[in-house]
Amino acid sequence: MEQVSRKAGSNIVLALDLPLGKPKKLLFQAKKILEAVHPHVCAVKFNHHLTLPLGLFGDLQDLLNQAKGFGLPTIMDCKINDIGSTNQTIAEYYFEAGFDAVTANPFVGWEDGLCPVFNKAKRMNRGVLLLVYMSHKGASEGYGQKIIGEEREKPQFQYRLFAERALKWGAAGAVVGSTYPEKIKELNLVLKEKVPIYSPGIGIQGGNTEITIKNGATYLIVGRAITQAENPLRIAIELKRIAHKSAK
Amino acid sequence: MEQVSRKAGSNIVLALDLPLGKPKKLLFQAKKILEAVHPHVCAVKFNHHLTLPLGLFGDLQDLLNQAKGFGLPTIMDCKINDIGSTNQTIAEYYFEAGFDAVTANPFVGWEDGLCPVFNKAKRMNRGVLLLVYMSHKGASEGYGQKIIGEEREKPQFQYRLFAERALKWGAAGAVVGSTYPEKIKELNLVLKEKVPIYSPGIGIQGGNTEITIKNGATYLIVGRAITQAENPLRIAIELKRIAHKSAK
């Protein structure tokens, strides 16, 4: 990831999210966007917007191969949060389909939860990104709540516990919403340089590129701001430029 | 759901979960199991074990049509936990594909979280089941944690907050693991008869049919205990019989 990012001079992860549509049209649109912006991004993130209509082993393979052809790592944003055996099955199918990383929700816990996913990823040399603070408004209702642990004296914020899990479990990244720049700043201190922060929510959700980078995000996840733009290429170049300038 | 259950004299929801395999073989096995046990179950729950290899609009349609042909409601256990617009997209694809209900994780919150899913379900006359206490060991690391709310004086257990959300948001069901019978008993009192409890984890995970029913579960979700049995029909009949006896 780091290598690709350095080579492309970009820390933009393209979230290839398109609104509901017919499979053939979605495939055509997605390929066109990826073809246009690929020199200016460092990875591609997929979500159910495409896996459900195209099928993981169906037309989605076409897109995954296109991304691979451009030398871009691929992330499946499946937000795994089931019991251990199911989580492992999910991860195996996504890895088998060609994804380099999956996202997972640390809320589900370790034992018979995400342990099998991290083990499987390690064996297959893939990554697991953990959700630490999501970008939407309701995030405060879960990620922002205060927890009393049995062995702790002081209450802890949920997202701080999740950041500790990211460090302890060896996550390849921590997802923290760009709509909460103060959380990025705080979590960047906790995660130091061990776990890079991936930040979604730039643009349509209200996140600001410069502020997000200055507060410590390593990668920006950008979806609709690019995919729904009249000229995705222009936006991708512009975001890359601002992100690059802000990182100095 | 209630009608089908009464008619079939069964409160067993078949979780059609099969281990990793090739699509054609999985489809064959799943159809065979469903064909055998359908008179003894009241619904079919699908998970990524089948949607990923078969494809939502691919061979999975064959199974969904089979279930519908038997008059059985279908549930997609997708455990939705993304931002609002993505959650809505996910729900729309599953509903469009024919599912009668989806599962979702209340941790993601209401605003720009599950609100669009409940709205979409209401408009399309479908159901949303909320995860309240899962069946795996690590469930205590999330569902079992203690929360301090801003407006509350006393700390609350996470699962109690989730049960309150199930009532407030109008969930069609609450998922509580059969491996935690004391939680079923406690939550049954909270949910009264407004939100039925769906309980997974019977058999392989350690849940006991009789205890689960006696503590207040309305439906039993049974997967591997049936799907991996030498004789799925015999197990389904036996579980139905025990559940029926225990409910008296």
pLDDT tens per residue across span A28-55: 999 999 999 999 999 999 999 999 999 9
Mean pLDDT of B157-161: 97
Q: Stretch B187-208: mean pLDDT, rounded?
A: 94
What's CA B97's distance to the chain center, in Å? 18
CB contact under 8 A, A149 and B145: yes
Which of B93, B105, B112 lies closest to A52 in CB terms? B93
Query: Which of B24, B25, B32, B79 is labelled catalytic?
Result: B79
Do the chains contact at A141 and B81, CB–CB below 8 Å? Answer: no
Residue A161 binned pLDDT confidence (cut-offs 50, 70, 90): very high
* A225 contact residues in B (CB cutoff 8 A): none
Do residue B136 and residue A113 have CB atoms under 8 angstroms apart?
A: yes
- String of b and e for A60-73 (b: at least 16 CB within 10 Å)? beebbebbeebebb
Å between B123 CA and nearest CA of chain A: 17
Q: Which of B169, B28, B43 is nearest to B101 (CA)?
A: B43
User: Cβ contact (<8 Å) for B107 and A105?
Assistant: yes
Return d(Cα B232, Cα B149) in angstroms, integer.
46
DSSP H or E segment with residue B184: helix B181-191
For A77, the closest chain B residue by CA position comes to B82
Point out which residues pair with B173 in neighbouring strands: B129
How far is residue B130's CA from residue A143's CA, in Å, rounded to a whole number?
Answer: 18
- Rounded mean pLDDT of chain B? 96
Location of structure tokens 């002081």 = A154
Local confidence band at B151 (pLDDT 50, 70, 90 cut-offs): low
Which residues are CB-contacts of B204 (< 8 A; sequence separation ≥ 6)?
B223, B224, B225, B228
Given a cut of 80, whether residue A149 has pLDDT beyond it is: no
- Residue B144 · residue B157 · CB < 8 Å: yes
Tokens of residue A53, six digits: 């209509």
3-state secondary structure of A12: strand
State chain A's maximal CA–CA distance in angstroms.
56
Q: B154 an active-site residue?
A: no
- Nearest residue to A103 (alpha-carbon basis) of A48, A145, A56: A48
The pLDDT of residue B12 is above 80? yes
How far, in Å, are A37, A132, A190, B107 from residue A142 at the CA level? 35, 10, 19, 5
- What pLDDT band is residue B204 in, cutting at 50, 70 and 90? confident
Region B93-113: mean pLDDT is 98
Please judge whether B141 and A205 are an interchain contact, meaning their C-beta atoms are less than 8 angstroms apart.
Answer: no
Share of chain B above pLDDT 70, in %: 98
Beta bridge partners of A102: A76, A128
* B interface test, pick of A83, A85, A157, A165 with most B CB neighbours within 10 Å: A83
The pLDDT, as a whole number, for residue A151 is: 64
> Which residues of chain B have a CB within 8 Å of the CB of A93?
20, 48, 52-53
Q: Do B147 and A146 touch (CB under 8 A)?
A: yes
A90 contacts in chain B (CB < 8 Å): 48, 52
Q: Give the mean model confidence (pLDDT) for residues B108-126.
A: 98
Torsion angle of the four alpha carbons B189, B1, B139, B213, in this order, in degrees rounded to the nearest 10: 50
**CA nearest B57 in A: which residue?**
A53
Determine the pLDDT at residue B247.
87
**In which band, very low, low, confident or very high, does the pLDDT at B154 lie, cut at 50, 70 and 90?**
confident
pLDDT at A204: 86
A140, burial (CB in 10 Å: exposed 0-12, middle 13-18, buried 19+): middle
Partner residue facing B109 (CB), from A79, A114, A138: A138
Domains of chain A: total: 1
**pTM, entire model:** 0.97
The nearest CA of chain B is from the CA of A71 a distance in Å of: 25
Upper half-sphere CA count for residue B75 (Cβ side, 13 Å): 26
Chain A residues with CB under 8 Å of B108 CB are: 134, 136, 138-139, 141-142
Nearest to B55 among A56, A115, A149 (CB): A56
Instruction: Mutate one of A24, A82, A102, A224 to test the B interface: name it (highest B CB count within 10 A).
Output: A82
Query: 3-state DSSP helix/strand/coil percent for chain B, to nearest 5?
Result: 55, 20, 30
Q: Please compute the mean of the pLDDT values over residues A150-170 and round it to a whole number.
A: 90
Helix axes B60-69, B84-97, angle to 10 degrees: 60
Residue A163 · residue A184 · CB < 8 Å: no
Residue-level pLDDT at A193: 86
Q: The domain that contains A169 carries what CATH number?
A: 3.20.20.70
* Residue B127 pLDDT exceeds 70: yes
Q: What's the rounded mean pLDDT across residues B64-90?
A: 98
pLDDT tens figures, A88-122: 999 999 999 999 999 999 999 999 999 999 999 99
Instruction: Give the residue from B76, B105, B108 with the most A CB atoms within 10 Å of its CB, the best one to mutate.
Output: B108
Given A79, A194, A214, A248, the catalytic residue: A79
Structural domain range at position A40: 2-246
- At residue B58 the predicted structure's pLDDT band, cuts being 50, 70 and 90, is very high
Q: Which residues of B touch A114 (CB under 8 A)?
A: 138
Sign of CA dihedral A202, A208, A210, A213: negative
Whether residue B149 is predicted with pLDDT greater than 90 in this model: the reply is: no
Mean pLDDT, range B112-136, rounded to an integer: 98
**pLDDT band at residue A152, thresholds of 50, 70 and 90?**
low
